[in-house]
Amino acid sequence: MANKGNKKRRQFSLEEKMKVVEAVDSGKRKGDVAKEFGITPSTLSTFLKDRAKFEEKVREASVGPQRKRMRNALYDDIDKAVFAWFREIHAKNILVTGSVIRKKALNLANMLGYDNFQASVGWLNRFRDRHGIALKAVCREDSDRLMNGLGIDKVNEWHAGEIIKLIADYSPDDIFNADETGVFFQLLPQHTLAAKGDHCRGGKKAKQRLTALFCCNASGTEKMRPLIVGRSANPRCLKNVHSLPCDYRANRWAWMTQDLFNEWLMQVDARMKRAERRILLLIDNCSAHNMLPRLERIQVGYLPSNCTAVLQPLNLGIIHTMKVLYRSHLLKQILLKRHGSEDQEKVDMRQAIDMIAAAWWSVKQSTVVRCWQKAGIIPMELTDSGPEAAASEPEIATEELWHSVAIATCVPNEINFQDFVTADDDLIISQDLMDTEVIQGMEAGENTDEAGSEDEGEASSPQQPKITITEAISSVQKLRQFLSTCAGVPDAVFGQLNGIDEYLMRKVTQTLVDSKLTDFLQTK
């Protein structure tokens, strides 16, 4: 009896079960089939009863033939979404490693609304077993050697051939590069360590992020208006706001999408048509850039894949400089609020948009030119960069500023200003189209491009009071009085103030003229 109790229970794979069923279908007696496969008559009856399930699994190819247990995954919809993605990738003969599958699973889980899902190694092993997937390990040394070799060859080949053909008919003024970057716009210095390396695929941090698209030409003479993507279509802080220093759009992930990028492209194309210009636009091949509309005045050139770190000018220091300037401005805001009466250190989205745009317009022409030259796209002799190019940017004492804020906010000693600047460099900036299709299949009728609600993520941001034009003019006058008490104010500052004053006076004068004309017409 003891031996019978300790007898190990045999488990059969799906392939073995189907062989048993096929043997019965071939006309053999059930007793003979049971003896042939070493199973009891009751087990045989169970196989025949469940044959419909086995056939469905084989037909869907949703489990591997060696799979022995038919239990569904704990997160069945995540499992199905990842496997649907895997089949598409596998059909294109793209090599997929276990780490890639785990990252994709996290991405899809967040899109499906699971914040607690962990794509652990154990989950990966069970996923592989469920679907009969064999993953081959790639030696790190071989992988690095392969990537480095292919990367260098691609870069050299592109420099020697394709880029020469692309820029042949264009001057540096008409050669542009566009790229996106993610920004944790409310990131405080003391939270740098927690944000470092975060891809922000969803959850609470998604409410604190923006995606910004920048575009500039090779001569550094033209920087286009930034396009900033947030989560809320009508955030409270933008109520009654009709003019921004950028273009603003929204979707539920605050990512760049194909539709948003194509809309931006069409607007640029229309501007070039009005100006009777033709330009070359260099972009990477991220998913948002893959299906372009018909363009009349823009020729698009794609940078080689996996080489943008050394070929894309915006990635070679332009965007980094913008972030240095933005974070520096943020540090000043923190200091001002700490020394003032305000308890809230975080900025709202309106303030962040203003600061991002201001940082972008403050990037020097010499910095832009130097990055285009570093990419090897524009030779030195084609630009007029002078000795100022060697100057570091920004010129403000950022380290002293960082030191003051770090002490005041108890930042760990191992965190420095560069960590603060680059904390959001790993943010995802575009949505994989395949992910959209997968999730649409999992959640029928749900629109992944739908923007967030009006107040989502804005509960702590009070609505800004509406300022009249009379109050604005009065503020300019007060600012002029303040500057008159300061020593060494640059002439450029007074020039900018005069420009603001002239704009406001023109606006109020036109308003008065229009109202008088309306009154006159009403009396007739």
Residue type, 372: W
Question: pLDDT digit string (tens) for 69-83?
Answer: 444 556 778 888 888
Q: Is the pLDDT of residue 94 over 90?
A: no
Per-residue burial over 284-300, b = 16 or more CB atoms within 10 Å of its CB, e = otherwise: bebbbbeeeeebebbee
**CA–CA gap between residue 421 and residue 328 (Å, rounded):** 9
**For residues 298 and 194, which has the higher predicted lDDT (pLDDT)?**
298
- Give me the mean pLDDT over the 492-506 stretch: 82
Q: What is the pLDDT of residues 237-291, one digit of tens each?
A: 888 878 888 999 999 888 899 899 999 999 999 999 999 999 999 999 887 887 8
DSSP type of residue 487: S
Q: What is the pLDDT of residue 250?
A: 93
Residue 21 — pLDDT band, cuts 50, 70, 90?
A: confident
Q: pLDDT over 70 for what percent of the chain?
A: 70
* C-beta separation of 216 from 321 below 8 A: no
What pLDDT does 342 receive?
A: 58
Mean pLDDT of all residues in 83-91:
68
Give 182 or 206, the one with higher predicted confidence: 182
The pLDDT value given to residue 89: 63
**DSSP 3-state helix, strand, coil percentages of the chain (rounded to 5)?**
55, 10, 35
Confidence of residue 313 (pLDDT cuts 50, 70, 90): very high
User: Residue with structure tokens 């286009």?
Assistant: 224
Q: Please count the residues of the chain.
A: 524
Where would I find the beta strands (DSSP E) of 87-232? 175-184, 209-217, 227-230
Please give the domain boundaries of the chain with CATH numbers for all domains. Answer: 23-60 (no CATH), 76-140 (1.10.10.60), 160-378+400-422 (3.30.420), 469-513 (no CATH)
Q: What is the mean pLDDT of the chain?
A: 76
| Phi, psi at 281, each rounded to 5° | -115, 120
Q: Does 486 or 176 have the greater pLDDT score?
A: 176
pLDDT-derived band at 224, boundaries 50, 70, 90: very high
Lowest mean pLDDT among 195-199, 384-388, 404-408: 384-388
Q: Range with the lowest mean pLDDT among 55-64, 99-108, 137-146?
A: 137-146
CA–CA separation, 347 and 489 (whole Å): 28
Q: Which of 345-354, 412-421, 447-456 has the lowest mean pLDDT?
A: 447-456
Distances (CA, A) of 341 to 51, 332, 344, 410: 73, 15, 9, 20
Question: Which amino acid, residue 47?
Answer: F
**pLDDT score of 402:** 85
pLDDT of residue 141: 38
Helix axes 76-91, 98-111, angle to 10 degrees: 130
pLDDT of residue 98: 75
Could you tell me the pTM of the whole model?
A: 0.63
CA distance 506 to 524: 27
Q: Is the pLDDT of residue 212 over 60?
A: yes
β-strands 279-283, 175-184 pairing: parallel
More confident: 263 or 455: 263
- Residue pLDDT, tens place only, 420-449: 888 888 788 876 545 655 665 555 434 444
- Has residue 62 got a pLDDT over 50? no
pLDDT of residue 20: 84
State the residue for tokens 């045999």.
Answer: 10
Percent of the chain topping pLDDT 90: 21
Residues 272 and 297 sit within 8 Å (Cβ to Cβ) = yes
Select, from the ranges 188-202, 348-362, 396-410, 507-521, the one with the highest average predicted confidence (pLDDT): 348-362
Does the structure show a pLDDT above 70 at 498?
Answer: yes
Cα separation, 524 vs 517, in Å, equals 11
Per-residue confidence (pLDDT) for residue 74, from 0 to 100: 67
β pairing state of 298-302 and 279-283: parallel
pLDDT at 394: 43
